[in-house]
Structure 1
Amino acid sequence: MKGLYFIEPIVAIYAFASFMIYPLVQQYVYRRLWLEITNSSYPVSDNTSQCGNNISHSRQQDEVQKAASLFSMYSDLSSMIPSLIVTLLLVSYSDQRGRKVTIIMPLIGSLIYTLSFLAVSFFELNVYLLIAASFVSALFGGVATMLGGCFSYVADLCEDGKQKTLRMAVVDMMIGLLAGVASISTGYFLHTTGFNWPFFTSSIFHAVNLLYAVFVLEETRVIDRSETVGCCRAMQKLVCGIYNLFAGGSSQRKWVLLLLIVTFFSLSFVNTGGLSMITLYELNEPLCWSEILIGYGAAVSTSIFITSFVGVYLFSLCLPNIAIAYIGMLSVLISMLMTAFAKTTLMMFLVRIPAMFAIMPFPVLRSMMSKVVSKSEQGVLFACVAFMENLSTNGASAVFSRIYAATVAWCPGFIFLLGSGLCIIPISLLGILRCFHSLDSNDTQALLSEDGTEASDEPAVA
């Protein structure tokens, strides 16, 4: 059977399976901690808001909020170090042994993670075993590892710079489209069947996805398997590849690439940190959302992947890449600022409107970075990007969780005010990049080819 070169089904199924349980994770932990701290069952009703049931438990609710946010911090920290190391090694290694390994390994880890949740939920095991499950699954990489492999896979297939930007935006759109469908269904699924069936269903989807990646997906980098490389030699090649990525080429290329990576990291840190606290914020007073409302809210949030793809497609017809990234960063800033003051259900849904272009900077920045390195460096580049994305994802969740635990009693929205303020960092870095790299088309082509790599048809920094 001839393999297929379609990475989108893997991203779509992965997004559906992950977002089927992502809104449930914090809810499950929240309810288990509620039971332990208050010695009473969690109030479940068909009402859109459950604050009326919890007025007499305001202090206990603050304790549960703190405990849940600290649990999230411990879970993120336990998975951060192994995930960072595995991400850097696997995605870099894909330049030598193909891209599929960076996709298959994280899928195995995701399957282990969901099966662990199913076991803890079904047998009512100690909830802190989930922290151990996070650590074990991180040994196989994480979402950043898989996406790093997917974007390297796309970069292998695309020759034209604009095609590369749009294809990467399609990958991001697939995440939003399927994540939205999963988020809507999850609220009703949980309300009807409880936690066990969603966890089981997610495990089935991850298993199917793994089979597709192993037996159907075709490899983009055909490697001569007769060439045997020892472990130490392979590690040396990885280190040299990362070193040459930043040391090789002109000084302008080096600084442009460094600024792009730091900009990507800082924006991912802010965006991920804010999103990680949304569910707890919605469970807290005065919103006190039910599982159904949380599902709708998560679905509306994931729709920004679709609107961001449309934005990238339309804006790329008339605007340079940096302008598109600026629009997306302002979208993140405004939405976080509004979230900090959202006290009603209607307002909480409305804050998703200014966030409609929040994902645009990520495929644009990835494409800009990809265009300043050669094809043989794509795996090393996206290994570094995935490493920084993994660091920002886990680090931001841990940091924002700790700050939320310290401020939830007196200002639950403080964490979003902080996030909106931190958005100034990537905006400023992009401004520095624009001033630093104000080259015309010919000079930009020279930047790409000075180190011997092929020049792209488009400027490296539009």
Structure 2
Amino acid sequence: MKRFYLVDLIVFLAACSAFVLMPLRNEFIYQRVAQRHNYTKTKRTYCTPNNTNQTEEDQVIADEATKWTMYINLSIFVPAMIVGALLTSWGDRVGRKITISIPLFGMTASSVLQALIIHLNWPLETMLGYGAIAGGSGYFMTVLIQGTTYLSDVTPLKDRGKRFTILETFIGIGGGIAGLGGGYWINAQGFIPPVWSTAAMTFVAQLLVPLLPNSLKSRARGRDTEPDNSVDKDSSNTAYSEDELAPYDSVEGAGLSAKESTPLLHRAEKTKAKYSFGDLWKSVWQVYTTEYKECEKCFGKKPKIEDLNRKNCRHGGGLHPGRPWRLWLYIISYCAYMFTNVGIMVFQTIFFLAYPLCFSAVLIGAQMSLKFIANVAGPVFVVVFQRCCRLKNQTVIMLSLVAYFFFPFLMCFAHQTWLVFVATSTMMLGSIAKPFMQAQVSSLASETEQGAAFALLSSSEVLSFLLATVSYLTMYSSTQHISHWFIWMFSAGVAMIPIVLMGIVWAVDWRTANDKRLGEENKSTEDA
């Protein structure tokens, strides 16, 4: 089991690499644009009421740098949105190690290319090639989703929320270290050493991938080879009640032969046709539009849906009424959460530097450190909620989303330093909504549908990242005449969307559980 934690180290190294490159890339673009205009930037402060010290030339450089940043982000995120979904779905057929390796290789190759662009002073247009390599292999977000999908293969359903939170903590640690140290490193030694270090980190992560246990073999080990459709409990609400997770947790394993223990890896004739792009997208569409959770082993390749009851097999397959609308509500909520999260990350440093807060580098570092501590505190809250308070996953999501809402809401009134840190501290609880939403999406798919379920999640995360980067940078500058805090009001409004949608799921689950309890009580009374 300890070897499964290698995936956390791989994701940690990828996070360090990505979060060092992001500010480096933006600063390099700005400097290269300034060189084109023969412009030497003087030391400038944002801490005046109306940025009156900004010259017309400053604005020209900033506008062109923003344009190039947008072009390069598009060259990364548009192909990554498509490739990430295909790789995630493909992982159900070929295993996760291959689909983790591909984006890591792309990150390494793109870092090497960026180092050559900087060292050899190649034209800025060559950065589009950097973006094509990084995005064409899936980029950093695909590594994260592949790591999450890998863990969904090897982690019992009831423990996935906690396990995904631990993975998210490693991402936060990697991002915190990169955020705190990357800027100082660039100022001290320039661009070249940090870029080569990012290539080295992803290369080391690539070397660790072969050491990972095969998640599909680990998933298959211990499963009976005979189909088993008998389940004692009605599984119409398996994603939300711990008592109804028995079909996943009751499997105790009979030893299998080497051939029998890898059914997903030894179906060459049956799965050969499934490697086409069309079929990969079809499998994703099936997960998000049908109530049937696929399990060829127990129900066959094309079962008659009308013949299925509401019972799940031990592999998570079967009929789950209401699955499509639940999945879509999770996807929309996930997109809104990530859109706000990424958008705040994009503009908050400029906001802190500006009037009236006028943060110093020390205060910005302290605020980033507090966000880092918030990620580390996530698993602690999960243990308290699940083991001490016995809360279900959906309730944990609701509490976390409410806490997350208070971050931008309190920032709407942040005229003083202390309130910024009070608002940031709410992320200690607000950061765990993401892994628990991922866990709920995973719970609504069978074992053989995990990649397909996470494929759309992967694309939506990349899309949210792209839209947030463009929207927030544009909105922040264009709404300053309305209010310096308008962008925080907008973020608080968007943060309300997942609260409402997840509240609907929570209310339906509560009503279903209550009706079931009343039905069991009435039945017991009649029997008595």
Is the aligned partner of 1:354 residue 2:349? no
Is the aligned partner of 1:11 residue 2:11? yes
Is the aligned partner of 1:121 residue 2:194? no
Give the direction of change, closer, same or farther, for the CA distance of 1:378–1:425 in structure 2 (3 Å limit): same
Give the direction of change, closer, same or farther, for the CA distance of 1:73–1:293 in structure 2 (3 Å limit): farther
Is the aligned partner of 1:227 residue 2:299? no
Instruction: Report 1:3-402 matches (<5 A).
Output: 4-5=3-4, 6-33=6-33, 39-43=39-43, 51=47, 56-57=53-54, 60-161=57-158, 163-213=159-209, 215-222=210-217, 223-224=264-265, 227=268, 230=272, 234-245=276-287, 246-247=289-290, 248=292, 249-282=319-352, 296-317=366-387, 318=389, 319-340=391-412, 342=414, 348-402=420-474
Q: Decide whether the 8 Å contact of 2:16 with 2:177 is kept in 1.
A: yes
Aligned length: 435
- Render the CA deviation track for 1:79-114: whole Å, top value 9, x for unaligned: 232111111111001111101122111112222332
Give the direction of change, closer, same or farther, for the CA distance of 1:366–1:316 in structure 2 (3 Å limit): same
For structure 1, which runs of at least 5 residues remain unmatched after alignment?
A: 445-462
Q: Decide whether the 8 Å contact of 1:271 with 1:332 is kept in 2.
A: no
Instruction: Give 3-state SS (helix, strand or coil) of 1:423's partner.
Output: helix
Q: Decide whether the 8 Å contact of 2:15 with 2:175 is kept in 1.
A: yes
Q: CA deviation at 1:235?
A: 3.3
Equivalent residue letter for 2:84? T
Q: CA deviation at 1:418?
A: 1.3
- Render the CA deviation track for 1:229-276: whole Å, top value 9, x for unaligned: 556754354234223313123441222222222211221122222212
Q: CA deviation at 1:135?
A: 2.7
Q: CA deviation at 1:294?
A: 5.1
Deviates more, 1:370-379 or 1:226-235: 226-235
Give the TM-score taking structure 2 as reference length: 0.73
Q: CA deviation at 1:61?
A: 4.7
Give the direction of change, closer, same or farther, for the CA distance of 1:281–1:312 in structure 2 (3 Å limit): same
Deviates more, 1:4-13 or 1:419-428: 4-13
Q: CA deviation at 1:174?
A: 0.8
RMSD, matched Cα? 3.2
Deviates more, 1:254-263 or 1:402-411: 402-411
How far apart, in 2, do the equivalents of 1:38 and 1:346 lie?
Answer: 41
Q: Decide whether the 8 Å contact of 1:155 with 1:378 is kept in 2.
A: yes
Deviates more, 1:171-180 or 1:106-115: 106-115
How far apart, in 2, do the equivalents of 1:80 and 1:113 lie?
Answer: 14
For structure 2, which runs of at least 5 residues remain unmatched after alignment?
A: 218-263, 293-318, 518-528
Structure with the larger RCO, 1 or 2 (CA within 8 Å, 6+ apart)? 1
- Render the CA deviation track for 1:175-202: whole Å, top value 9, x for unaligned: 1123222322223322321222212212
- Render the CA deviation track for 1:332-379: whole Å, top value 9, x for unaligned: 322223445546666655542223223211111111121222111111
Q: Decide whether the 8 Å contact of 1:38 with 1:60 is kept in 2.
A: no
Q: CA deviation at 1:138?
A: 0.4
Is the aligned partner of 1:439 residue 2:481? no
- Which residue number in structure 1 is paired with residue 479 of structure 2? 407
Deviates more, 1:428-437 or 1:69-78: 69-78
Q: Decide whether the 8 Å contact of 1:177 with 1:305 is kept in 2.
A: yes
How far apart, in 2, do the equivalents of 1:376 and 1:441 lie?
Answer: 31
Instruction: Give 3-state SS (helix, strand or coil) of 2:19's partner.
Output: helix
Q: Decide whether the 8 Å contact of 1:308 with 1:360 is kept in 2.
A: yes
Q: Decide whether the 8 Å contact of 1:263 with 1:429 is kept in 2.
A: yes
How far apart, in 2, do the equivalents of 1:155 and 1:172 lie?
Answer: 14
Give the TM-score taking structure 1 as reference length: 0.83
Q: Decide whether the 8 Å contact of 2:81 with 2:462 is kept in 1.
A: yes
- Render the CA deviation track for 1:23-59: whole Å, top value 9, x for unaligned: 3333333444455568223529xxxx7759x863355
How far apart, in 2, do the equivalents of 1:333 and 1:67 lie?
Answer: 34
Q: Decide whether the 8 Å contact of 1:183 with 1:296 is kept in 2.
A: no
Equivalent residue letter for 2:195? F
Instruction: Give 3-state SS (helix, strand or coil) of 1:218's partner.
Output: coil
Equivalent residue letter for 1:11? V
